[in-house]
Structure 1
Amino acid sequence: MTETLGPPVGHVHSAALPWVTAGPVGLQVLRVSPDTWVVRNRFQAGFRLPKHKHTGGVHAYTFSGRWQYAEYGIDYVAGTFIYEPPGSIHTLTVQEDSDILFTIQGAFIEFDEQENISGIVDGESTLNAYYALCDASGIPRPEGILR
């Protein structure tokens, strides 16, 4: 039997990608494709992401800290893996400084206090924000982000 190798496995080492900071949020972009994006966030205690709805599923792994979705009241601590199904609506709140890896399919739609759509975040907009933060900090734009 002859095996045919598929395309090479893409890889990146997190040490090759800089961390950038926007207020209480640290951001590292690991992968962006048309349908999926992978980011690592370091959130400071007290941070709250606006209520949002996911158009696709989300996988998350917590390396350190404690956070939750305000609507569910479950603490996610170091070692916790979660899956959010498409259509999930929630408000991320951070109780302790937290380091979390997110694999996000699709986009998420942010809502303001009156439940109006206030923004849409996807992989490309996140990558553009990451590059802008690199530029503002004088950090060369990384070339190792998987596409």
Structure 2
Amino acid sequence: MNEITPANQFIPEHYDVIREFGTKDRHVGDDETPWIPYVAEGAFWKPLRFDLASGRVWAMLWVQGPGIIGRHQHHGSVVGFVVEGSWYYKEYDWVATPGSMISEAPGGIHTLVTDHPTGMKSLFVTEGVMEFFGDDGGYAGSQSMFWNIDEYVKHCRKHNLKINEKLFY
């Protein structure tokens, strides 16, 4: 491990406090967490971080082919970054393609659609609760960071996989 020492770098004034009490740097490899079935056929998610202080979830979303993630509303902010394929919200007039960054304010209601032949993979950072609505417009359920944690833990236990404790901080 590369420690900061007077011989190789400037030492910040509060380095000892940061080293003792600060959050440690982490690396989560692609093979350290599984893809978990999500809310629609052919859709999966992979947790990357559960931020226990803010309620933020960092996760990859993978829709394996053309598909739809149901109509939903976020009660916190969302940031997305497209890695592969493309997708759009049925309610908007733009298409997110590789390299696109999406920023969503709390309150919007939308339906994620991919009609790309190979689907899409995107990184999402979500805060707060997300509510889903059925085809009739009625409430169909909600997800929070705790829902995500529960789904991850249940999946790991069901498949006898090690729970990656590096995801929780």
Both structures adopt the same fold (TM-score exceeding 0.5) = yes
What are the equivalent positions in structure 2 for 1:15-26 lying under 5 Å apart? 15=30, 17-22=32-37, 23-26=41-44
Q: Point out where structure 1 has 5 or more consecutive residues left out of the alignment.
A: none
Equivalent residue for 1:60, pick from 64, 75, 80: 80
**Secondary structure in structure 1 of the residue aligned to 2:57:** strand
Distance 1:73 1:136 in 2: 41
Range that drifts further, 65-74 or 22-31: 22-31
Output the aligned Cα RMSD.
1.8
- Greater relative CO (CA pairs within 8 A, separation 6+): 1
TM-score, length of structure 1 as denominator length = 0.88
Equivalent residue for 1:3, pick from 13, 19, 28: 13
What are the equivalent positions in structure 2 for 1:34-113 lying under 5 Å apart? 34-96=54-116, 97-113=119-135
AA partner of residue 14 (structure 2): T
Q: Point out where structure 2 has 5 or more consecutive residues left out of the alignment.
A: 1-11
**Secondary structure in structure 2 of the residue aligned to 1:15:** coil
Between structures 1 and 2, the one with greater strand share: 1
Q: CA deviation at 1:70?
A: 0.6
Equivalences, count = 146
Distance 1:45 1:109 in 2: 24
Distance 2:56 2:150 in 1: 15
